[in-house]
Structure 1
Amino acid sequence: MARAAVLCVSLLLYLAFASGADAAKKKVGFYELKNKKGDFSIKITNWGAALVSVIVPDSKGNLGDVVLGYDTVAEYVNGSSYFGALVGRVANRVAKGRFVLDGKAYHLYINDGKNALHGGHRGFSKVIWTVKEYVPSGDSPYITLYYHSFDGEQGFPGDLDVYVTYELSNPYDLRIRMNATALNKATPVNLVNHAYWNLGGHASGDVLGHLIQVFASRYTPVDNVMIPTGEIAGVAGTPYDLRQLTPLGSRINLVSGGGAVGYDINYEVQGDGFRPVAYVRDPKSGRAFKLWADQPGVQLYTNNWMKDEKGKAGAVYQKHDALCLETQGFPDAVNHPNFPSVIVRPGGVYKHDMLLFKFSH
């Protein structure tokens, strides 16, 4: 049976057998958060804990949705682009879907050539999350979602309790807080929010005119199947040098990932703790954001493979119609001892905090 069909059947079976309070908490749908002024709102779905929409004003006060996505839950179930999803247990790639932890070899679900990608074919982006708390309005509207990942899921060791909270605050701040507790075995954890951003509006075409700055002087080069070589190289003198505000389209033809033109690379974010990661501005709309986070890396991806993807409100998305800034642990860190560790020990808690993104206009 095709993967999309399997996912649809899984969803229908769950909805058929769930009942009572549990069913109410796990009913798959959309949840809106809105600020008091009414000019800043987001929508979340508990299918994949995905960020569905972010509506903010432009420089003239016109409201627009600045993330790519779908109109219906069914499209998120069947989609393969990770629109807005909470990706895990380990985001990005793991070489050959294999790693050794405490002397034991683990084999993950292979879903990207010979490698594992974004947690496998049924990662956290393809499951139903439980709505734990939902405050849709007020000074700081928020929603908290929960997922229990079982020992052996997609090949990963140990039970894991995972939470994500989306919260709005004034004037136009969106915060995403993720945490995960390893219950009984050491396990790798690397969670990512996979939103596709277009500050001109989700249906406004390519983002090549966006200006971008990434606060990173080093990056992790990859081989021809997008696996890090283990080197942490300087960006100076390369097209990956985005330390100064740079038009995205000015260098995009000089870089490629896996055979497609565009950025798809992990940067080592400068500094430690909760700090600035990147700044993006769209000169046409006047919208901008600064991204803050507490992770060692950030993946810049410029939507290099998309073609004729049917999205919200009749939009048809193409390559380079958005950019992703995925704060994260380094890709394939489980196989590179020189990379920051992504291992969480039993009783330990993984934490990932993003201020996403201090929107301005």
Structure 2
Amino acid sequence: MRRCSVVAIFNWPPMARCQLVLLLLLCIAGAVLASGADGRKPIGVYELKKGNFSVKVTNLGAILMSVVLPDSKGNLADVVLGKTPSPNTLTILLTSDQWPAASRNGYPGAGSSSTAKSTTCTETTAGNTLHSGGRQFVKSIWEVKEYVCGGDSPYITLYHYSFDGEQGFPGAVDVYVTYRLSSPYTLGVHMNATALDKATPVNLLSHTYWNLGGHGSGDVLGHTLKLFASRHLVLDKELLPSSGRVEPVAGTPLDFRTPTPIGARIRQASGGQVVGYDANFIVDGEGMRPVAVARDGASGRALELWANQATVQVYTANWLNNTKGKDGKVYNQYAGFTLETMGYVDAVNHPEFPSQTLRPGQKYKHDMVLKFSF
């Protein structure tokens, strides 16, 4: 089993360090190491590669930085939107709302505080806890527990200790995220958490922005999307399930039960304060099951998502506007889409929803499998 080396650069002069970072990010193999924001842990970029299929991950926020695979003609492209590292540091890697394991409670929770079995957790954003606010998991430097960059099933496992009171949530939690490649063109994302000493809500998610034509190739309105979801959670203007209502998608712009272009009814969709999708769907069935199939006709690339979570949030990058991305690309509205599987939104404030609260010693398990084809 081949282990992967890391190049240390944190003692180099700033200009030389910057040039080397940008150069190494273009290389096929290896990992880049920079000094950690907390002065203790290193920040790295780690590549997993299997033939002409590769991904890059950073332990800053456990972020999925890129997914490179061929199209129907064999042309390689990166299908994940992102941001080039800033000139002097690796601490700004992606658009501010893009991460795979956002926080203990990845989606908004209503109110200035919420409770987990009478244990109050004070939250830090005005009105709700979008991705939990405050010291988000995405701003934390995760520990690399294992890293195997090649072989039949390359993988990386990252660990974060969330202390009692972090982001205002009660109790300490051990959190692990594993990214693993397998054949053919399959990426597994496995998120696990254990509550150590107090009851606390946990609802991890992946917030990767996809464009199967290649990041920066334009909008995704022509992508077709099929969702294995016949119901949706009714969200208010703040994108919260304040009414607790679940309604059928039939006869609405949210009906993707058969493959439908994302742009076909997007003008009738309400994604908060702008036009676009930002909707939560109840996935049909239970356990590990199909969630969505997205396809780009121009490139021939398709993404099939399986997961074991109750809901999926579909978002169409409604707020991107002349946003500078990686490789000199510019992202505008609808430049990507997300498929964020998770438990019920704001379950801590809705006893009618399945609970997302872990008891001490209880384990949370979130598995996603993304199968690419072309």
TM-score by length of 2: 0.87
Structure 1 counterpart of 2:45, one-letter code: F
**Is 1:28 the counterpart of 2:52 in the alignment?**
no
Query: Counterpart of 2:160?
Result: 147
- Post-superposition shift, 1:71? 2.2
Aligned residues of 2:84 and 2:94 also touching (Cα < 8 A): no
Q: 1:286 aligns with which of 282, 287, 300?
A: 300
State the percentage of identical aligned residues: 54
Aligned residues of 1:109 and 1:116 also touching (Cα < 8 A): yes
SS in 1 for 2:175: strand
Say if 1:323 and 1:176 are closer, same or farther in 2 by CA, change over 3 A. same
Q: 1:177 aligns with which of 186, 190, 196?
A: 190
Q: 2:249 aligns with which of 211, 235, 238?
A: 235
SS in 1 for 2:355: coil
Aligned residues of 1:77 and 1:126 also touching (Cα < 8 A): no
**Is 1:106 the counterpart of 2:121 in the alignment?**
yes
| Cα separation, 1, equivalents of 2:71 and 2:37 | 43
SS in 1 for 2:263: helix
Query: Counterpart of 1:3?
Result: none
Say if 1:172 and 1:135 are closer, same or farther in 2 by CA, change over 3 A. same
Q: 2:103 aligns with which of 85, 88, 96?
A: 88
- Post-superposition shift, 1:81? 2.8
Query: Counterpart of 1:67?
Result: 80
| Cα separation, 2, equivalents of 1:71 and 1:244 | 36
- Post-superposition shift, 1:85? 3.3
Q: What is the 5 A alignment of 1:14-25?
A: 14-15=38-39, 18=40
- Post-superposition shift, 1:80? 5.0
**Is 1:193 the counterpart of 2:206 in the alignment?**
yes
TM-score by length of 1: 0.90
| Cα separation, 1, equivalents of 2:82 and 2:95 | 11
Instruction: State the number of aligned residues.
Output: 337
- Post-superposition shift, 1:157? 0.4
- Post-superposition shift, 1:249? 0.5
Aligned residues of 1:69 and 1:84 also touching (Cα < 8 A): no
**Is 1:316 the counterpart of 2:330 in the alignment?**
yes
| Cα separation, 1, equivalents of 2:295 and 2:116 | 42
Higher helix fraction: Structure 1 or Structure 2? 1
- Post-superposition shift, 1:121? 2.7
| Cα separation, 1, equivalents of 2:146 and 2:203 | 23
| Cα separation, 2, equivalents of 1:177 and 1:139 | 18
| Cα separation, 1, equivalents of 2:333 and 2:37 | 35
| Cα separation, 2, equivalents of 1:288 and 1:12 | 36
1:49-93 CA distance string (max 9 Å, x none): 000000010000100000001222746537553324321110110
Structure 2 counterpart of 1:14, one-letter code: D
Aligned residues of 2:157 and 2:176 also touching (Cα < 8 A): yes
Structure 2 counterpart of 1:50, one-letter code: I
Aligned residues of 1:293 and 1:353 also touching (Cα < 8 A): yes
Say if 1:12 and 1:178 are closer, same or farther in 2 by CA, change over 3 A. closer
Query: Counterpart of 1:7?
Result: none
| Cα separation, 2, equivalents of 1:204 and 1:79 | 17
SS in 1 for 2:92: helix
| Cα separation, 2, equivalents of 1:280 and 1:91 | 23
| Cα separation, 1, equivalents of 2:90 and 2:42 | 16
Query: Counterpart of 2:224?
Result: 211
Query: Counterpart of 1:260?
Result: 274
1:129-179 CA distance string (max 9 Å, x none): 000000000000000000000000111000000000000001100000010
Aligned residues of 1:123 and 1:154 also touching (Cα < 8 A): yes
Structure 2 counterpart of 1:186, one-letter code: A
- Post-superposition shift, 1:29? 1.8
